[in-house]
Amino acid sequence: MDTLTRLEQTICQRMGADPATSYVARLHAKGLPKIAQKVGEEATETVIAALGGDKAELTGEAADLLFHLLVLLNAKGVSLADVIAELDRREGTSGLDEKASRSAN
Ligand SMILES: N=c1c2ncn([C@@H]3O[C@H](COP(=O)(O)OP(=O)(O)OP(=O)(O)O)[C@@H](O)[C@H]3O)c2ncn1[C@@H]1O[C@H](COP(=O)(O)O)[C@@H](O)[C@H]1O
C-alpha cells in the first residue's frame, strides 16, 4: 500500500480518537471551517516556500499541505481513490485543449 493511502486510512481511524491525544481528532472536533482554513494556510506556506525557501522547506510545507488536504477530503467523504480516478480520467488530455474546449462552449 502506498504512503498516501496508508495516511488516508490512519486519518480515517484517528478522526474519532480523543482530541487530547490526536491532532486529526482535534482538527475534526474544531469542524470543517477550521480544517478548510488549515488547507488554505498550508497552501499559502507552500507558495511562500516555493518562492523564497529552499527545497527542504518546500518539501516540508508540501507534506503539511497533502496531509491537511487528505483530512479535508476525508471530512467531506471524498476518497483519495476518487481524486486519483479524476486524475486518471484527465490523463492524456492537454490542459490547453481542455481550456480551449470550455471557451468554445
Ligand atoms: N502527517 C501528519 C502531519 N503532518 C503535519 N501534522 C501536524 O499538523 C500541524 C500543522 O502545523 P501548524 O504549525 O500549522 O499547527 P499549529 O501551530 O498547531 O496550528 P493551529 O492548528 O493551532 O492553527 C502540526 O501540529 C503537525 O504536527 C501532522 N499530524 C499528523 N500526521 C499523520 O497523522 C497521523 C495521526 O496523527 P494523530 O491524529 O495526531 O495521532 C500521524 O501518525 C501522522 O502519520
| Predicted confidence (pLDDT) per residue in 49-91, tens digit | 999 989 999 999 999 999 999 999 999 999 999 999 999 999 9
**Chain centroid to CA 40: how far?**
10
Ligand 1 pocket, mutate which of 23, 37, 61, 74 (most atoms under 8 A from CB): 23
Cα(70)–Cα(3) distance, integer angstroms: 12
Count the neighbouring beta carbons within 10 Å of the beta carbon of residue 55.
Answer: 9
Q: Cα dist. 82→14, 18, 34, 56 in Å? A: 21, 28, 23, 30
Cα(57)–Cα(60) distance, integer angstroms: 5
Residue 99's pLDDT band (cuts 50, 70, 90): confident
Q: Looking at the domain covering 3-79, what would its CATH class be?
A: mainly alpha
State the closest ligand 1 atom to the C-alpha of 45, by its place in the atom list counted from 1: 14
Break the chain into its structural domains and give their ranges: 3-79
> What would the grid cell of residue 54 be?
529552499
